[in-house]
Amino acid sequence: MKSRRMNKISSYNPYSINNKNNKAAIIVALFVLVIIGLTGCNNKKNVAPATYSWDEADIYEAEKGIKQGGTCISTELPGFSGDGYVDHFENEGDGLELKIEIPENGFYDLNFISASIGADYKENYLYIDGEEIGTVSVQSGDFSDSLYERVYLTSGEHSVSVTKYWGWIAMDCLKVKKSNELDPSIYEVNRELCNEKPSPNTTRLYNYMCDMYGEKIISGQYCSSMYGPENVAIQRATGYFPAVMGLDYGLYSTSPALFGEESDATTNALDYWNQGGIVTISWYWYAPIKYHTGEWDQSYLTDYTNINLTKIFDESDEEGLDLLKKDIDAIAEQLLILKEADVPVLWRPLPEASSGWYWWGNGTSDEYIQLYQYMYDRLTNYHGLNNLIWIWNGQDSSWYPGDEYVDIISWDVYSGEHIYIANTQTFLEATQCSEKNKMVVLSENGCLFDPELAFRDGSTWGFFCTGKGEYVIKEGTVNEYSGRFTEESVLKRAYGDFRIITRDDLPDIKTYGDK
């Protein structure tokens, strides 16, 4: 089956070393390669990536752009350049379009000098030539940088638009410069796991992922079981199963059991591993029942809980730590089953913490970090779980718990419908969370990116893992593929790309790297 993803090799190879006519040529070629390697000729590692200064940027004043909706020119805020700035991004349809001129094909950085009305975080849509490519954000009440990096643009004129999402910004100008070249060393990750005594299969899996990183991208899909609706729909559409299956351990928390809920996630993890797949497990933590303020099945959300982590860790909430410990221990019981079966797990607890949507991120970053580190210590040192590869999904560098607690950095991105960008801006942001090189993965995505764009832009995520339900399954069907978010042609192109690793492409992880 793999032959569909690469050119078949003829049984007679005229370049084979067994072909006597070519032996001399091959020896000469090898000699030349050795000389090149020794002299450093064409050795890119010896060449520093090119950088470009903002002093060389082209500047486009906002007040000279095309105002959309209710936006208008103002002069009340201090510190603007030119003749004013544009504000009143308040209602749907409000925006600003600027025409920019690009001298040559390549990657460019866009810096929207903006201020936040009210001096709090604001985020608004960014379009290039009418296509949504992401968002730009600003927090300062003074005019400051709002940077979107590494946009590929062809030579000639382009339309750049910012339209209301959160709104309430003032835009002074847009600066455009060539992007600094990517440093290829970002893909040379630290191969030491944070657990000093990982199981052999855990080490093998991580080494395989490191070997692939920067060269290929591992496919993934959240699904309830090996032959769950999403996996079946993808296999029917493409002929392939995803390499990684994503599961959630939320129902193993203590409170769902009080309402008669059960889970077979551990059994399904075992099944997928035994079929040659890789397993990633998240923990969307249903809070202990003491902290519920609404329905139990919403108790992982901030709005339906009243947990105060500061009171738990300073023991003002006397039973709080014991309640959290019981939940962690319940999860450990399941992870220990996988440990005994020698199944390595890409473990992603406490997702999307900085969003504030979930109770573990409702407080400060320090509270979250304390909880994360406590969980790490309990699972690693108390329960002896050495089959976990720890994925941090805080999505803000100020929430980073430290290199000694993190193996992989991840981000979740839901771009919208039929938006096939590789989210390079987010990828680059994630690489900056640690001073050590950590692998970066797309732990959740809605629309699947186009592999051509990912490899062109240099945002080759370690793996992706598409969300369940509507992101894959057509409404009203059991397992019919939906093209609502990712068109079927794009899905087929992705899974058919030799640089995208499906389950069929995986080696036997149990023996990977063994001599």
Which positions are annotated as active-site residues? Answer: 352, 444
Those residues with Cβ within 8 angstroms of residue 227's Cβ, 6 or more apart along the chain or in another chain = none
Buried b / exposed e across 273-285, counting CB within 10 Å, b at 16+?
Answer: beebbbbbbbbbb
Beta strands in 75-191 (DSSP E): 85-87, 95-102, 106-116, 122-128, 131-138, 147-153, 156-163, 169-178
* Tokens 């500047």, residue located: 59
C-alpha span between 444 and 410 (Å, rounded):
9
Is the distance from CB of 464 to CB of 221 less than 8 angstroms? Answer: no
410: burial class by Cβ within 10 Å (0-12, 13-18, 19+)?
buried
Distance CA(202)–CA(346), nearest Å, equals: 9
Nearest to 118 by CA among 89, 93, 98, 147: 89
Whether 305 contacts 359, CB under 8 Å: yes
Q: Encoding tokens for residue 273? A: 């591993």
Question: Residue 214 corresponds to which amino acid?
Answer: G
Which contiguous run of DSSP H or E holds residue 170? strand 169-178
| Contacting residues for 266 by C-beta, under 8 A, at least 6 apart | 334, 337, 338
Token code pair at residue 324: 């959290």
- Pairwise CA distance, residues 93 & 68, whole Å: 7
